A and B are shown apart, each in its own frame.
Chain A
């Protein structure tokens, strides 16, 4: 009976993930697209990078699943986007995007890198695995509507393991929608493409910074 309930719950999570995937895509896509376009061309590299990003995103999901299960069956209002925590996450996302746009940090062993100026036209920097992990984790714990729905459902489950499993399958459903990003590996990396990707990253960083700081200020003023 318990196994049946578990599989029903997993199926529900998978369908929820598949159904709400486009919203996840719209929410995380703005981070993934410029970040991947800054990377050098190549399918193998992109596949590795995307899977690292998704793995980190899954880690974020599981952390969130644990947290919501520990909090209990209801998610407090403060969690739904007005918390200093989510303001902080958006500020960190902004910092991560700016770092990527600037081509920083770089590996010390890398020979002759191009300038780190934001609008530098030149070679793309070498891939940074830590960037995939950092951005993946931050987008993983950043609230979006489907994520919130999954969180509410997961919080009602009887065991922590069930909550984790629910998020695992929810993640699997949403991750399918990210696979088209692999096609970015085929996009030719002209200096213009890399420069535009960096500029987009800066614009998005400005947006996240504005949004994050607004949340923090609101929190500071209204509590």
Chain B
């Protein structure tokens, strides 16, 4: 393995092509395994979608191996997931019911797709009243394959593997704001982030507590009904009175403010870092997750490049001095890639810090990318197939 340059964040070629291919082989095989079922279905669009995404995911992993960079290649996948998920989802809604709004009959019959974001809010009502407050089906039905049991099972499995890294490898919402954050060339409102960031990053915890308590008190999924910015690009309760009009107004305002405008201005994932209660909930799993980012204090020169590059303000001067990230680190790899002194390193808990960090990165990435391929990859393949289906000349 070639040594890293001391002047560049990463040398252009980190590994040889042959070695990179060899390291990519397990992911290539995994992709093949994941997308093989797609070929059992009829439809050329589905087949093409599966092949394209299989090559896309394997190719990105190869580039991660070849260049030693994580953030840049992960971001390409993640932004694609963020923008293509609503596309495929909305297309499916429009094809099925002709509108993005949820008819009241669907809500009454509990026939709406379950989203993992509601998970923290349903815990207390389920514990006290043995009732799932979300209007969905526990087990899959013909009209609603995204059942509550499947989504919670999937979320739990992914969380065991990824911890808080769920937020940067699996969440199909985070990619939208990461995309808008990537558009702007200049970082604006930097002083605002530096000054208020330490307080703002506590807001998701407050919203988490509010959502959990509110859901128990009102016996309804408070986050879904009132606070989810992504309702604006997925599905929402049909506007039929003042209350639902207010709800819709909140969804749109939160989406425009936190997912479009602020990420564009600050180059940060403002919704993820300063609002998302599910992200705060996921942070708890960082306590038990095996992988983390650590800082080698012998190499660190306190240049704050890592702090500036962190998309969710998960680093503070104190945490860097202690050689750690904050609890809300989502392991996107931005700080490791930004560090010119190789002081920021991937670390497997229980092993010495900064000893064979690349091995820790590899172990983490195999798990994370395998999950990304399984979960996000299938969403991407579906969206690509939908796009192909809608091509004008077809």
Contact = CB atoms under 8 A, between A and B. Distances in A.
A139 to B, nearest CB: 11
A204 B199 contact: no
A70 interface: no
A33 B209 contact: yes
A185 interface: no
A31 B274 CA distance: 23
Contact of A121 (B125, B198, B219): B198
B217 A26 contact: yes
Interface centre among A29, A33, A199 (most CB of B within 10 A): A199
Given A22-B128, A22-B129, A199 B203 contact: yes
A30 B214 contact: yes
Contacts of A34: 209
A200 B210 contact: yes
Nearest to B216: A26
Main SS at interface, chain B: helix
Interface in B50-80: none
A26 B131 CA distance: 14
B384 interface: no
Contacts of B214: 30, 204, 207
Interface string B200-215: 0011011101100110
Contact of B202 (A25, A26, A192, A202): A192
Interface string B119-133: 000001100110000
Contacts of B219: 26
Interface string A199-217: 1101110010000000000
Most buried by B among A33, A121, A196: A196
A34 B206 CA distance: 10
Interface in A137-175: none
Nearest to A30: B213
Interface in B192-236: 198-199, 202-203, 205-207, 209-210, 213-214, 216-217, 219
B224 to A, nearest CB: 15
B217 A30 contact: yes
A203 B210 contact: yes
Given A22-B129, A26-B124, A121 B216 contact: no
B254 to A, nearest CB: 14
B206 A199 contact: yes
Given A22-B129, A26-B128, A195 B202 contact: yes
B202 A196 contact: yes
B198 A203 contact: no
Contacts of A26: 124-125, 128, 213, 216-217, 219
Chain A contact patch, size range: 10 to 19
Nearest to B222: A207
A34 B210 CA distance: 9
Given A119-B199, A121-B198, A27 B206 contact: no
B209 A196 contact: yes
A195 B199 contact: yes
Interface string A1-39: 000000000000000000000100111011001100000
B200 to A, nearest CB: 8
A143 to B, nearest CB: 13
B26 to A, nearest CB: 40
Interface string B162-182: 000000000000000000000
Contacts of B217: 26-27, 29-30
Contacts of A207: 210, 214
Nearest to A203: B210
Contacts of B205: 192, 196, 199
Max chain B Cβ within 10 angstroms of own Cβ: one of A27, A29, A200: A200
Contacts of B207: 203
B202 A199 contact: yes
B290 to A, nearest CB: 25
Contacts of A29: 213, 216-217
A203 B206 contact: yes
B10 to A, nearest CB: 35
Contacts of A27: 217
A25 B199 CA distance: 29
B146 to A, nearest CB: 28
Interface in A182-202: 192, 195-196, 199-200, 202
Nearest to B211: A203
A110 B198 CA distance: 28
Contacts of A199: 202-203, 205-206
A202 B216 CA distance: 18
Contacts of A25: 128
9 contacts: A26-B217, A29-B213, A29-B217, A33-B213, A34-B209, A121-B198, A195-B199, A195-B202, A207-B214
Given A26-B125, A26-B219, A204-B214, 4 more contacts: A29-B213, A30-B213, A33-B213, A199-B203
Q: Which 8 A-B pairs have the closest CB atoms?
A: A199-B206, A30-B213, A26-B216, A203-B210, A22-B128, A119-B199, A196-B205, A200-B209
